[in-house]
Amino acid sequence: MRKIFFFSLFLSAFINLNAQTDTVPFKRLTLGGYGEIAFSRNFYSDNINRYSHAEDYSNAPSHGRFDLPHVVFFVGYNFGKGWRLQTEIEFEHGGTEAAVELEAEEAGEVENEIERGGEVVLEQFWIEKTFSKALNLRVGHIIVPVGFTNMNHLPNEFFTVYRPEGERTVLPCTWHETGVSIWGKVGDWRYEAAALPALSSEQFSRTGWINGGSASPYEFKIANSFAAALRIDNYSVKGLRLGVSGYVGNSFNNSIQPTAAEKYKKIKGKVMIGSADFHYKNHGIIARGYFDYGHLGDSENISVYNKNLPKYSVSPRTNVASDVLVSGIEAGYNIFSSLKSQNLKSQELYIFGRYEFYDSMFKTAGNIQKDKWCSRQVYVGGINYSPVKQVTVKAEYSYRKFQKPYNNEPSINIAVVYAGMFN
């Protein structure tokens, strides 16, 4: 009986110990993610010559596409004593970021593209130390806090099927770099400042401006130059966030084989970006908007330099603008918010409209030609239906408008998206 008693006591202690060791870590663990399943029917040509020979494609047949733009899983862990880990792994377009692409900027060449080193995108991987509500230190692979979309890139943070077109065209999106940042909240204010490796001007282009400059085809990120980013948000008004952000950093010669030629000695390629954005949610209304202005110093010299790079270079080898302008605004109303049914009130049905204007060649320097088809307006109208908080069905009609003689580009887009925590 004594042996049975001690065995029972040991077994009970063992079970309790395991319950504690199993439960505590899982309470500190957070799992979540987001993803998008999208279909588009585009009522325009996708031929690479549709801008250079617009008159040949005015009556082009429509084409359709299925896509998984982003499928993301994130894992976080709270170590205690103010130490925290966050990781985010992203699968873009259901693949590995290696693909065969038809390059519109390279005379229609078919190329095997590797946009970043590695098989998947490690979008975030950082360790953070919290000293107080007003001061947190974050080190690792972080989101660059510039612009609206980079800070609001989950699919339930914008109405459209795809991320806002203007910012995802001219800025890296989602823009993530390995660096150091400090952030905190003081009253109704939040700030974040970051030190980062600079962009590479060799991967700038006329359609995407600096968009490709954050990507590295190597197993490391080149950091011959450094950059800084700053963001400040205010929450003084109920339901309203107002934010401003900026970026500055030199981009020329931030490459694996920088030139030593004397004529390029003074070229810096300084990138400067200023952005203002807002988000309002109250009384069944959501409204969001942003305005970005960017300037690239030495853009004429960079254009000439890039176009003379070898064909095997990772550069698009095109002209690049000195200045870009991007603006967008959207607003939606949840028609279920005014109904008496409790069942419908737990759901959401937003009817929305959106307008964007952006020009990736808003201004050019010297003899660099300005391509008018880089100036676009986008009109979008549609619905977002959320039967539960984490899942949304999106449907929209989008109309991309160009200056004459270029053909406008209407499309219908449908998606099912999710975003939320799994535990």
The pLDDT assigned to 313 comes to 87
Between the two ends of the chain, the Cα-to-Cα distance in Å is 44
pLDDT at 409 over 50: yes
Q: Rounded distance, CA 104 to CA 50, Å?
A: 9
pLDDT at 20 over 50: no
pLDDT digits (tens, 9 = 90+) for 69-89: 999 999 999 999 999 999 999
Q: 416 exposed, middle or buried (CB, 10 Å; 0-12, 13-18, 19+)?
A: middle
Query: pLDDT-based confidence at 279, cuts 50/70/90?
Result: very high
Query: pLDDT-based confidence at 19, cuts 50/70/90?
Result: very low
The pLDDT assigned to 110 comes to 53
Q: Where are the beta strands (DSSP E) in 157-188?
A: 176-186
What are the distances in angstroms from CA 50 to CA 54, 108, 171, 373?
Answer: 5, 11, 24, 10
SS3 397: strand
Q: 264 exposed, middle or buried (CB, 10 Å; 0-12, 13-18, 19+)?
A: middle
- Sorted by where each starts, the structural domains of the chain and their CATH numbers stand as 26-421 (2.40.160.10)
Q: Are 187 and 298 in contact (CB under 8 A)?
A: no
Instruction: Report the amino acid identity of residue 356.
Output: E
Q: Rounded distance, CA 232 to CA 293, Å?
A: 17
The pLDDT assigned to 312 comes to 85
More confident of the two residues 387 and 339? 387
pLDDT digits (tens, 9 = 90+) for 352-368: 999 999 999 999 999 99
Lowest mean pLDDT across 111-120, 229-238, 294-303, 331-340: 111-120
What are the distances in angstroms from CA 356 to CA 38, 89, 98, 130, 377?
Answer: 21, 30, 30, 38, 6
pLDDT at 190 over 80: yes
The pTM (predicted TM-score) of the whole model is 0.88
The pLDDT assigned to 118 comes to 40
Taking residues 280-287, report their average pLDDT.
Answer: 97
Q: Assign residue 337 a region: left if phi > 0, alpha if psi is -120 to 50, beta otherwise?
A: alpha
Q: Are 407 and 58 in contact (CB under 8 A)?
A: yes
Task: Tell me the percentage of the chain whose pLDDT exceeds 90.
Answer: 79
Determine how many CB atoms are found less than 10 A away from the CB of residue 96: 14
pLDDT digits (tens, 9 = 90+) for 99-150: 555 555 555 555 556 655 445 788 999 999 999 999 999 999 999 999 999 9
pLDDT at 22 over 90: no
The total number of residues written for the chain in this structure: 423
Taking residues 195-219, report their average pLDDT.
Answer: 93
Taking residues 38-44, report their average pLDDT.
Answer: 97
Q: Rounded distance, CA 99 to CA 85, Å?
A: 32
Query: pLDDT-based confidence at 199, cuts 50/70/90?
Result: very high
Q: Rounded distance, CA 194 to CA 161, Å?
A: 30
What is the CB-side half-sphere exposure of residue 167 using CA atoms within 13 A? Answer: 28
Q: What are phi and psi for residue 112, nearest 5 degrees?
A: -85, 110
pLDDT digits (tens, 9 = 90+) for 309-330: 998 888 999 999 999 999 999 9
The pLDDT assigned to 220 comes to 87
The pLDDT assigned to 324 comes to 98
pLDDT digits (tens, 9 = 90+) for 391-402: 999 999 999 999
The pLDDT assigned to 101 comes to 58
Query: pLDDT-based confidence at 10, cuts 50/70/90?
Result: very low
The pLDDT assigned to 104 comes to 55
Average pLDDT, the chain: 90
Q: Rounded distance, CA 362 to CA 370, Å?
A: 8
Spatial CA neighbour of 31 closest among 73, 82, 78: 73
pLDDT at 241 over 70: yes
